[in-house]
């Protein structure tokens, strides 16, 4: 007249917490152990019996002859499945045979997603180009998840997230992509991927500074400090203005009639209030007659792009007769 009572139809637990499974017996039965099995049939797995070693499992009431409830600590997504409390009877030859089992408890393990990670392009992109950004998170259960994209706290539209099975049968991974056209003022912009899931009290956020993906090419101009033509033997300056570029790495060289000349008067890039950079480079020239018609070129290489060149021609005034 022994009965196995397994009152829990379904149990849900969050990963990392303790899973509590209830089983009691009433009445008398044959000799033999009570065990917990995960699954039924050929693929079942022994979760607990009184003789084996099960480091994460403890009895709720140790040594009890009627209460076989167990605690499984540090629940994991792979713990999901159906658990059976089973009374066995001793058979000849020391083999255990099933005498009676409980109704089974379906266990689901809710797992939080990993913090979202936002990734951008491998190299910087110029203004006006469309650039994809991807947000990924993983290891969550159940599979329902909401992804929201924001730029500077304003919502932007994106395709529904792509959900794929995770490392275990009971976990999922998510990937979401948004495409943006980069603007000059994005040097100070922030992209946010916000993930909401049933296991979370507040959404998780992944951040990306758009400046990491952005290149703003400089404007280059050469200005002379004296009106042309210049009197013989006067000293004059050509100033190269390099403005509005990002990032701040730039190389400036001067050429006289195509030959590089040494210039030491080049300022360090200065950041403007808008987050872009600018600098000046100055070359000093002695206006001798043999330099008449010489072409001075300011050559600017920004962020490994092709050089930008601006020129100015030195015109010498004919001496008064």
Per-residue pLDDT of 100-149, as tens digits, reads 999 999 998 999 999 999 999 999 999 989 999 999 999 998 889 999 99
Q: Is the peptide bond before 227 cis (omega within 30 degrees of 0)?
A: no
55-75 residue pLDDT tens? 999 999 988 999 999 999 999
The arithmetic mean of pLDDT across residues 191-211, rounded, is 96
Backbone angles phi, psi at 67, to 5 degrees: -110, 115
The pLDDT of residue 177: 95
Per-residue confidence (pLDDT) for residue 214, from 0 to 100: 94
Residues forming a β-bridge with 301: 251
pLDDT of amino acid 42: 84
Query: Minimal CA–CA distance to 102: which of 195, 8, 166, 196?
Result: 8
pLDDT tops 70 at residue 200: yes
Kindly state the tokens that stand for 190: 């922030």
Query: Mean pLDDT over residues 285-298, rounded?
Result: 94
Q: Which of 113, 47, 102, 58 is nearest to 80 (CA)?
A: 47
pLDDT tops 90 at residue 255: yes
**Dihedral sign of CA atoms 224, 226, 228, 232 in order:** negative
pLDDT at 92: 78
Let me know: does 37 contact 47? Beta carbons within 8 Å: yes
Residue 261, pLDDT above cutoff 90 = yes
3-class DSSP state for residue 94?
Answer: helix
The pLDDT of 195-208, averaged and rounded, is: 95
In the chain, the domains with their CATH numbers are 3-110 (2.60.40.10), 117-212 (2.60.40.10), 219-314 (2.60.40.10)
Question: What pTM does this model have?
Answer: 0.75
- Taking only the tens place, the pLDDT of each residue in 46-60 is 999 988 889 999 999
Whether the CA torsion 286, 289, 291, 295 is positive or negative: it is positive
Annotate 33-78 with DSSP letters as a single string: -EEEEESSSTT-EEEE-SSS--TTEEESSTT-SSB--EEE-S--GG
């Amino acid at each position: 007249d022994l009965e196995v009572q397994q009152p829990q139809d379904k149990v849900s637990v969050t990963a990392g917490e303790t899973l509590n499974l209830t089983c009691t017996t009433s009445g008398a039965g044959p000799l033999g152990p009570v065990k917990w099995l995960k699954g039924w049939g050929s693929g079942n797995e022994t979760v607990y019996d009184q003789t084996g070693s099960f480091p994460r499992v403890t009895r709720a009431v140790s040594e009890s002859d009627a209460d076989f409830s167990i605690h499984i600590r540090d629940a994991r997504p792979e713990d999901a499945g159906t658990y059976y409390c089973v009374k066995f009877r001793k058979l000849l030859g020391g083999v255990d045979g099933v005498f009676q089992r409980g109704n089974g408890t379906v266990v689901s393990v809710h797992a939080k997603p990993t913090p979202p990670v936002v990734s951008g392009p491998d190299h910087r992109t110029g203004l006006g180009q469309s650039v994809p950004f991807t947000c990924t998170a993983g290891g969550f259960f159940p599979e329902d998840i909401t992804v929201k994209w924001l730029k500077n706290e304003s919502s932007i539209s994106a395709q529904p997230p792509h959900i794929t099975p995770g490392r275990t049968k009971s976990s999922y991974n998510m990937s979401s992509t948004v495409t943006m056209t980069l603007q000059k003022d994005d040097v100070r912009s922030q992209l946010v991927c916000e993930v909401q899931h049933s296991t979370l009290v507040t959404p998780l956020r992944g951040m990306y500074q758009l400046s990491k993906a952005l290149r703003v090419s400089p404007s280059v101009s050469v200005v002379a400090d004296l009106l042309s033509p210049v009197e013989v033997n006067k000293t004059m300056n050509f100033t190269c203005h390099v403005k509005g570029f990002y990032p701040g790495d730039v190389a400036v060289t001067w050429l006289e009639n195509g030959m590089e000349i040494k210039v030491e008067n080049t300022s360090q890039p200065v950041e403007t209030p808008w987050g872009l950079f600018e600098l000046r480079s100055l070359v000093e020239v002695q206006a001798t007659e043999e330099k008449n018609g010489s072409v001075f070129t300011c050559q600017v290489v920004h962020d490994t792009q092709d050089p930008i060149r601006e020129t100015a021609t030195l015109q010498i005034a004919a001496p008064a007769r």
